[in-house]
Amino acid sequence: MASSKCIKCDNTTFEMKEAKITGSNFRMMFVQCSRCGGVVGLTEFMNAGSMLERISKKLGV
């Protein structure tokens, strides 16, 4: 599998950072290069997948 790299500096390690987005009511997380801070992705602050897993466990499905 190809390794993911920053398009700006070719670094291959990333980190999550809380994003402040003007005009948004939702907290989001940036996935950014741990060297130069170049943003490579965006995800919800509340991870929908893990939230659904918790809910489905409570429901017993």
State the residues that interact with Zn ion by CB under 5 A: 6, 8-9, 11, 33, 35-36, 38
Ramachandran region, residue 12 (left: φ > 0; alpha: ψ -120 to 50; beta: rest): alpha
Shortest spacing between CB 17 and Zn ion, in angstroms: 13
CA distances for 13 relative to 2, 7, 34, 37, angstroms? 14, 12, 6, 11
Can you tell me which residue has the tokens 């919800």? Answer: 44
Shortest spacing between CB 20 and Zn ion, in angstroms: 20
Closest to Zn ion by CB, 16 or 55: 16
Shortest spacing between CB 25 and Zn ion, in angstroms: 29
